[in-house]
Structure 1
């Protein structure tokens, strides 16, 4: 394998696939700038609208609430319509709620527009399918890692640049100009993406699923497995509805809460029925051997992304306060030290993809999950008696395994079933957001030490399931638009 491993030259812009990679991670970067544009400006927004602590927390939850179902929906759209159109139009349309948020005059308007902006967080899924079309299996892990790691940095870039931009606009409404500028950036880059991006290299086929409303599976056992794995996603949405409702953050009353529960349960029933409808007839006719794959591959990656990306979102949310409380730091110092957790994305996520390309998908993911278990176990021991430098080093070490693990997960996703890559990536991505909801909910009941141990325990369980992950080997068989079977190398 080492002899076949090609060096990926990210500076070779004369190569079409390298240009496409840069075009893609920048689209993801822009989507994260828009998605998290409110976070660094929340102090100004709180002051202008005289928000309570609970109202601020509600806005932060609303910002990620729709991302769970959105990633599933966007994954289906990508497989059906192609990444170029989906990513381009997602960025253009995202500008509308972004501008509406900037023009909001009431808390209710802030809440609704933040909820809608959760959809742009699903843009990540689009690039997973797009990158897999342009890079061979021996390089796809590193390419996906660069896409995910560099694009993810958009949230940090927003935190560093938007407060300064708000100051340049000046006054109490400077934040409005800064947020509105991210909407302009999103709209313009969406047009650029539609102009420059291509779904596949010249002459290559873009394989589409027979039905995009639900993931196609290969056996009746896999069908029931798939149905069961959808349930936790709706459970996470119900947790969000509970957290925002009466007795918690109080964003709405009991009647509204019951109505939202009814909507979520109705959507769950509709989706489960769609899954059954799409697959029942297909399985009754029989699935050709060349078209089969094991759904357990998807389920294991769901869990792996839940404990990697899910824990990252949760830890990034609580880490500044953890440093303040543990070491009696100022908010500025704590925020600076905690930002190192997200900064590791720039090298760790591509590093996880590179390890997968070089040493195998299953082995690399298992190794990184083991490191994650140890990392969170170490963080659970951090106390006020620790030297601050040692605590920061432990945090950075843990964050490397977390984000490298994310890279290893999405080094495997594109190698399961090419025409279903968008839907698979959507489900895996949704589990990442659902994991964040679950871990943050746990944090409301326990202290930080137990919180880190809970994540370590979940990672240990996931590590055990990875032993049943199949290393991608041989080829994926897909049927092109002319009815010809094409073989795609996966190792």
Structure 2
């Protein structure tokens, strides 16, 4: 840890790492969400149907679920500096592919591969946790998450203008290519400017890269159970692309995907067994134990917070447009109030966690989340537009502050596995988004908001079983000595 002062205007030491981290995350989100604001132009240039556009939107998030898990593991093993730099550089390739695609198939492959850049978030969680002490960690992670997350809103505001400045029917291509160039250039800046830990600190690595470690028999089965929704939601995405959904894939292709997912789950279960079979032979020393239920609760909470944010951001302009008969441009501006809250809400959630404890903060914010979405479910055309916007902004404060509070807790469970834990929790956010958007395709807006409120209540109940991280977590050095890391509030 570094003991220098926490000053947001500083660009030295740990603050330099924080600023470079959120900038890297910001760029990943600009690239990941560079399609939505230019959707109409892409549709016209490539001659796509509405169905094909919907398919591209689904493909854009499909790969992020497994990618977050994989990137979390690689981060723990190879360090955030190398992994973030590589991700930014490699993902510029499908970004350029999409910019210059001239058929639906090329665009579809590029958008599918670009889902990988959505995993960048996980890397910074581990990097920031290496540089900041526990009493500043929530605030630092909140700034990283909130300011980085704003990349999606920045893309929405700037890319249509950039496309018009470039001009012509290919203006959108150059706007998207610029985001790929940003990603490529920043990968070099990041690699040359960042180190994984402060001077003299040890970067603890997991004993195994292939699966998450657990420290009890019960947690072994609990881990396998928590893997199931991640596979189920990938199967759900395949179903949406099938004949029963939007008809992009044949029944043979979809059945092959189902079989592949089952095989992959069995392979992963085998890896979990190989890594953790010793817990069935002898108990793990108490000093090295951690409770997997902490991870499971945070997964459920991120499902409800980030999952609902991703889903609501993509449907809110249409909701305001249909409910209040607004023009698409005005509806987009009104709906952007929801995303704007990220700049302050997520750091706010982390800061409150640092001051008042992780569990009490999560309980209050999750309760607010449930009430917020219940109120959103009441919004109708008889409401005044400004009151509806206030309701959306208050709701979004609880959503994003909740995200900040979740990731104020993640790095305090087991330091050497922070990437893996952040990867799994982050993936649950995407699982939530796909689940909620699928539900929205079957129900009205009111029911959609009530469903999210209901899952927030489930999260609140789950929180009752979570224990506040306290005391110290033990990590073993290469020479066999043990380092104790303070995590108490």
2:235 corresponds to: 238
- Aligned-CA RMSD value: 1.2
Q: Within 5 A, what are the aligned runs for 1:318-357?
A: 318-357=315-354
Of 212, 215, 231 in structure 1, the residue corresponding to residue 209 of structure 2 is 212
Contact 2:34 2:156 in 1 (8 A): yes
- Deviations for 1:13-39, whole angstroms, at most 9, x for unmatched residues? 23x000000000000001111111111
Residue 365 (structure 1) aligns with: 362
Which residue of structure 2 aligns with residue 407 of structure 1? 404
- Give the deviation of 1:159 after TM superposition: 1.2
Once residues 21 and 428 of structure 1 are traced to their aligned partners in structure 2, the CA distance between those partners, rounded to angstroms, is 21
Superposed displacement of residue 12, structure 1 = 2.1
Q: Distance in 2 between matches of 1:93 and 1:283?
A: 41
TM-superposed CA distance for 1:289, in Å, is 1.4
Q: Deviations over 1:314-369 (max 9, x none)?
A: 11111111111111111111110101111110000000000100000000000000
Measured in 2, the distance between the counterparts of 1:284 and 1:220 equals 10
Q: Give the Cα–Cα distance (whole angstroms) in 2 for the partners of residues 118 and 51 of structure 1.
A: 20
The correspondence for 1:98, drawn from 79, 95, 100, is 95
Q: Specify which of 132, 149, 152 is matched with residue 146 of structure 2.
A: 149
Q: Is the 8 A contact 2:217 2:279 kept in 1?
A: no
| Structure 1 range deviating more: 366-375 or 256-265 | 256-265
**Superposition map of 1:37-436 within 5 A:** 37-436=34-433
Separation of aligned partners in 2, 1:325 and 1:48: 27
The equivalent of 1:470 in structure 2 is: 467
Secondary structure at 1:477 match in 2: strand
In the TM superposition, what are the counterparts of 1:443-454 in structure 2 within 5 Å? 443-454=440-451
Equivalent residue for 1:11? Answer: 9
Given that residues 6 and 139 in structure 1 are in contact (C-alpha distance below 8 angstroms), is that contact kept between their aligned partners in structure 2? no
SS at match of 2:206: coil
The structural deviation recorded for 1:6 is 10
Deviates more, 1:406-415 or 1:445-454: 445-454
Question: Which ranges of structure 2 fall in alignment gaps of 5 or more residues?
Answer: none
Which residues of structure 1 form unaligned runs of 5+?
A: none
Please state whether the residue corresponding to 2:475 is helix, strand or coil: strand
Q: Partners in 2 of 1:234 and 1:346 — Cα distance?
A: 32
Alpha-carbon contact 1:242-1:257 (below 8 Å) kept: yes
Q: Deviations over 1:463-483 (max 9, x none)?
A: 011011111111111011222
What is the TM-score of this pair, normalised by structure 1? 0.97
Aligned-pair distance for 1:8? 2.9
| Structure 1 Cα separation of the partners of residues 294 and 476 of structure 2 | 22
Residue 303 of structure 2 contacts residue 432 of structure 2 at CA under 8 Å; is this kept in 1?
yes
Is the contact between residue 216 and residue 279 of structure 2 (CA under 8 Å) also seen in structure 1?
Answer: no
**What is the TM-score with the length of structure 2 in the denominator?**
0.98
Equivalents in 1 of 2:64, 2:189: separation in Å?
24
Deviation sequence 1:211-268 (CA, Å, 0-9, x none): 0111100101000000000000000100100011112111121111111222222211
Q: Is this contact kept in 1: 2:153–2:340, CA < 8 A? A: yes
In 1: Cα distance, 2:51 partner to 2:107 partner: 14
Equivalent pair of 2:299/2:428 in contact (CA under 8 Å):
yes
Counterpart Cα distance in 1 of 2:281 and 2:434: 38
After alignment, is 242-251 or 327-336 more displaced? 242-251
Report the 3-state secondary structure (helix = DSSP H, G, I; strand = E; otherwise coil) of the residue aligned with 2:484. Answer: strand
8 Å contact from structure 1 (residues 64, 118) kept in 2: yes
Q: Deviation of residue 409 (structure 1)?
A: 0.2
Task: Report the Cα offset of residue 286 of structure 1.
Answer: 3.3
- Do the aligned residues in 1 keep the contact of 2:38 with 2:159 (CA within 8 Å)? yes
The CA deviation at 1:272 is 1.4
Distance in 1 (CA, whole Å) between partners of 2:59 and 2:482 is 45
Counterparts in 2 of 1:187 and 1:22: CA distance versus 1, 3 Å: same
Matched residue SS, 1:468: coil
Q: Report the Cα distance in structure 2 between the residues aligned to 1:80 and 1:269, rounded to whole angstroms.
A: 23
